[in-house]
Chains A and B, each alone.
Chain A
Amino acid sequence: MEITDAICSFCGSLCDDLTVKVEDNKIIDVKRACRLGASKMLGHERINSPMIRNEAGILEEASFDSAIDKASQILLHAKRPLLYGWASTSCEAQSKGVLLGEILGAVVDSTASVCHGPTTLGVQEKGLPTASLGQIKNRADLIIFWGCNPIHAHPRHMSRYSGYLPGFFLDRGRQNRKFVTVDVRMTETAAISDEFLQIEQGSDYVVLSALRALVNGKDDLVPDVVCGVSKEDLVRLSGMMRSCRFGAFFFGMGLTQSKGRYKNIDCALSLTNDLNTQTKFVITPLRGHYNVTGFGQVCSWQTGFPAVDLSRGAPYYNPGEMSANDLLMRDEVDASLIVASDPAAHFPSTSVRNLAKMPLIQIDPYANATTEIADVVIPTAIVGVETEGTAYRMDGLSLRLRKLVDSDYPSDEEILDKIIKKVSRKGDVC
């Protein structure tokens, strides 16, 4: 059986043109996916069964019911529970996560807080002048990749949205477009760009400010060298930006996680805004996990904020104070539920140590570093492969992921729903 127009649930590009060959309920071939997407869809080792850590400290197989029961008991007794992850599951599951957070009085936070969280903080300062990816494909004759390397992390991004394909107004595709990469080191993306501007580590804000000064006609204020970049190079780049017909600025964690963090984004957003006095310019974060954007959307429409502390029954939002890593660094969390992510592999060691100290429940199709420190492990179906669900592309486009094969595993949503039923009081809204 061949399934066409399947959507890849690997990265934030959500390529929706895959053809998947299924035989005996197994995916045996994936056409058009990149190596990252194909590898996910062809499958790798799974968690077989629910597990509970026994008194000897060993994870022991258990039934779904007993694992859910144990998870519910842990969460019910927590004063500062953290529900974290959400980037690689469906909006439907995320929505259950917010509801569970309300019932428990928990913090609900996503992996965005350690990747593009600063982007959101920047957007809260300046707004986000952006466009759908198709708009960029059809119009952009200048593409800037700043602190990102899509060839590596989003392998089909350039061929689908940001460069190679012809668009309505650019019938020769790549030949009509100029690529500029700004980064602290030579990357695959930089290597195929028309211009590569190498900047010093941590100088993004200053370089962006210099570009803003140039775009605003304050050339005389900009010194001859700005953090190692010559004024001449900056003048040439600002000239390209001002004279293009449609510019698109993509950025990644090289900008969000370097010195200045969200103020870098703030400055890039302001630069984009300024450029629109002279031409058309848009800016888009290159989001990593396939539905990290979706969590921000769901949590915002349900609570008003892209991450939320519900400990006092009402939404509260203040990254730096209530984000997962902030709480873990201070050792405030007394129980955690980790859904579809791997903080044990990605958080600073102090946070991981504190996470490990306290009861931890993992809901995930795959075993990872977090499994090693989990007390309850509940395996689930893979969204976009074994179960349907909604996900948001990096540009905020909502798509319906398909189910490609059957699975005996329950979905994240079903497991969360069962936990919700266990922890709710009778008659409460749930």
Chain B
Amino acid sequence: MQTVTLTPIIQSKISIEAETITPDNFAGKTREEIENITIWEGNHKTRLFEFFKIALEGKDSPENTKIIINGSIPRVKRVGEGMTDGMILINGDVDMHVGAKMQGGVITVKGNADSWAGREMKGGEIIIGGDAGYYLGAGYRGESCGMRGGKIIVFGDVKDYAGEHICGGEILIKGSAGLMPGISNNGGIITIEGNTEMPGAEMKKGTIKINGVVETLVPSYKQEDDEEIDGIVYNKYTGDVVAGGKGSLYIKK
């Protein structure tokens, strides 16, 4: 087991881009090597030790590497981007793109995550204890596919466009979601325990289940017979017909 603990020493106003913080990249490295890993502060190329105090225990492969970020890093982006294995634990908030393009392993965010958490994620798991921003598990601009696999759980609320273009995988939102969760989706499962608005617009394929109140439903869904899932009765709709869609939308009765 290798454990790397990063304690933030300065809170930068300018977002730090730190796609280099992954178990894949840290595994097998010495403390000095990790301290000298490149990160970017705006247009300024810098190194990890400028912003974090680093403690290291052990030396191991990515799957046995755990990164603990001891504190909030609301201005550090892209943590865990593309990681294939191992663990990241963030004891606080994190900035945009946490776990983007993630393929495996687990990221736990104790606080809030900003927008694009789990963007284009393929596998692994992201657990967010607080709220998440816009575009949770969504895609990149112009791309036809967002999240493809893996699982995201958010215990708080999320903002608009959660699971936009989702093609696979699972998103569970314990709180409420903003506008249009699952817009233009083409697969995957989104569950929202709380309220939302205009879910599943342009859904082609996939499942969206809402246990709270839906403020507006786009007028292009076909109502089917009610269905009972896990003891809860749902209004079931299929659509979005304007997209020739065959997705299922369940709204608690």
Contacts and interface: CB of A to CB of B under 8 A. Distances in A.
**Direct A–B contact in the complex, CB atoms closer than 8 angstroms:** yes
Interface stretch (B36-44, B102-110, B123-131, B169-177): B36-44
B13 A212 contact: no
B180 A223 contact: no
Nearest to B74: A330
Nearest to B133: A320
Contacts of A223: 219
Given A124-B141, A320-B135, A332-B15, A80 B42 contact: yes
B56 interface: no
Contacts of A312: 17, 40, 43
Given A206-B218, A209-B219, A319-B141, A216 B242 contact: yes
A260 interface: yes
A40 interface: no
Given A79-B14, A124-B141, A212 B242 contact: yes
Interface string A182-219: 00000000000000000000000110011011001010
Interface in A215-229: 216, 218, 221-223, 226-227
Contacts of A81: 43
B220 A332 contact: no
Interface in B23-67: 40-44
B17 to A, nearest CB: 7
Contacts of A227: 216
Interface string B168-204: 0000000000011001100000000000001001100
A69 interface: no
Interface string B214-245: 00101111100000000000000000111000
Interface in A69-87: 78-81
A226 B219 contact: yes
A321 interface: yes
Given A121-B141, A320-B135, A270 B242 contact: yes
A261 to B, nearest CB: 9
Interface in A360-383: none
A213 B43 contact: no
A395 to B, nearest CB: 22
Most buried by B among A125, A206, A312: A125
Contacts of A384: none
B242 A205 contact: no
A359 interface: no
A331 B14 CA distance: 8
Contacts, number: 97
A213 B219 contact: yes
B115 interface: yes
A176 interface: no
Range for the number of chain A residues in contact with chain B: 35 or more
A318 interface: yes
Nearest to B165: A125
B250 interface: no
Given A260-B179, A321-B96, A209 B220 contact: yes
B155 interface: no
Interface residues of B, number: 34
A334 interface: yes
A317 interface: yes
Contacts of B96: 321
Contacts of A79: 14, 41-44
B220 A311 contact: no
Interface string B10-22: 0001110100000
A311 B14 CA distance: 12
Contacts of A318: 140-141
A97 interface: no
Contact of A213 (B40, B115, B220): B220
Instruction: Select the residue from A81, A209, A226 with max chain B CB neighbours within 10 A.
Output: A209
Nearest to A319: B141
A216 B134 CA distance: 31
Contact of B115 (A205, A210, A212, A320): A320
A331 B13 contact: yes
A30 B13 CA distance: 50
A210 B198 contact: no
A241 to B, nearest CB: 14
Which of B14, B180, B241 neighbours the largest number of chain A CB atoms within 10 Å of its CB? B14
Contacts of B42: 78-80, 105, 311, 332, 334
B142 A221 contact: no
B185 to A, nearest CB: 13
B188 to A, nearest CB: 18
Contact of A206 (B43, B202, B216): B216
A212 B179 CA distance: 20
Nearest to B217: A206
A93 interface: no
B144 to A, nearest CB: 9
29 contacts: A78-B42, A79-B42, A79-B43, A79-B44, A124-B142, A205-B198, A206-B218, A209-B218, A209-B219, A210-B219, A210-B220, A212-B242, A213-B220, A213-B241, A216-B242, A221-B220, A221-B221, A227-B216, A260-B198, A263-B201, A266-B184, A270-B242, A274-B242, A311-B40, A312-B43, A318-B140, A319-B141, A320-B115, A334-B42
